Each structure stands twice: as C-alpha cells, then as structure tokens.
Amino acid sequence: MPESLKKLINSISYLPWIWEKSATKLAFFLLNSNQNYLDNLWNNLINIKNNIWKCSNCNTLTDKNKNLCNICSNINRNKNQIMIVEEYLDMITIEETQVFKWVYHILWWAISPINWIFIWDLNFEKLFEKIQKSEEKIELILATNPNIEWEATSSYIIEQIEKRKLKHKTIITKLSRWLSSWFIEYADNITLINALKERKTI
Ligand SMILES: [Zn+2]
C-alpha cells in the first residue's frame, strides 16, 4: 500500500466512532473523489481552526467576525434565564425544539477529577459575574446530564451561589425528570420539552 494512503488511513482512524475498516473505506472514498470535493473538504477543515471562535458572553461557537453569537445578540431572548449546558450539542438539541427563548452558558466540560478536569478548567467565573452584574433576578436552569460529573458540577454552582452571596438574585432550576435516553443530546423532543417546561426549583 502506498505510504500516503497508509498515513491517510492512520489519520482517519484517530477519529472517534471510526473502526479500522471504516477508516480504510473512507480513505478509498477520498482517493476516488474528484478534486473539487477534496479542495472543498480541505478548505472546510482549515476553516474550523481559522474561522470559528467562542462567543464572549456564553462561550458557544460562533463565526470569528462576531463578538456575540446569534442567541446573545438577539434582543428577543430573555437574558434573565440562563440555561447551563455542558456541550454545544446539548444547546443545539434544545434550540431545535424551537420552544425556549432563554440564553445559554456553555461550560464545555463537567468537573471530573478522575479525568483531570478540575473547577478551574471550566468557565464558571463569567457566569457568576453575569449574576453579580444583573439588576434583576436570574434563573439558572441546570440542564445537566445524570452522572457523577454533573452532580459535582451542579453542587459546585449551588455552593458558589451561596458563598458569593448571590442567592437572593438567583433561582436555580433543573429538569423535572431524568431523560430516558440518559443524555440531552439523544433525548426525544417531547420528553425533553416536558422535562424543561415542568422544571423544578432546587
Ligand atoms: Zn453567546
């Protein structure tokens, strides 16, 4: 097998959810693709590093020429309701329901010392700052996944709200039930909407 093809298979096989056989198949697909497609793919790959950054307010992904994402810059969004999610895809899943008009705060991780992810790796400060600066009461909606990491993350947020004397400015709510799919990203729409609509105050 040519060296370049071996290297391509090797690179593809590092991608998650790709088995070695699929990596080989994908490499052959690319080998047989036309030049236009490959140029496009190449440009798109380069652009994910060059043209995407994080919203300065909520940490979601946005185009590099925008300081704020479309949600944060939307005047029809309720800035006093902040949904806290771990992953960008959790936010996308909730946005796809087209039901809720709140804003988000994306942490990108959950506290997990066993995986070397500590409090300082997560973007909490900006969140507490927002509550501090707000003149109105803020609802923090913890759209957390049901695992130990998220239990730790939620507890930390609740503890800090008390410690920083922000309790009188905050209402903390969480999903009314565990989602059958276990994770927000894979939840079915109806269950997710109901769990969010009927959310409980902690
Ligand atoms: Zn934003």
CATH class for the domain made up of 3-50 = mainly alpha
188 CA distance to ligand 1 middle (Å): 25
Give the distance (Å) from ligand 1 centre to CA of residue 85.
13
Domain ranges of the chain: 3-50, 54-201
Q: What distance in angstroms lies between residue 37's CA and the mean position of ligand 1's atoms?
A: 32
Find the 173 Cα to ligand 1 centroid distance in Å: 21
* Contact by Cβ (8 Å): 80, 136: yes
Q: pTM for the complete prediction? A: 0.81
The answer to whether residue 180 scores a pLDDT higher than 70 is no
| Mean pLDDT, rounded, of the chain | 89
When pLDDT is averaged across residues 78-99 and rounded to a whole number, the result is: 92
Interatomic CA distance for residues 60 and 72, integer angstroms: 10
Matching CATH topology for 3-50 and 54-201? no
| pLDDT tens readout for residues 58-83 | 999 999 889 999 999 999 999 999 99
Q: Tens digits of per-residue pLDDT, 113-147?
A: 888 888 777 788 899 999 999 999 999 999 877 78
Tell me which residue has tokens 């998220």: 150
Burial degree of 166 (CB within 10 A; 0-12, 13-18, 19+): middle
Third-level CATH fold of 54-201: Dna Topoisomerase Vi A Subunit; Chain: A, domain 2 (3.40.1360)
- Distance, CA 54 to ligand 1 centroid (Å)? 8
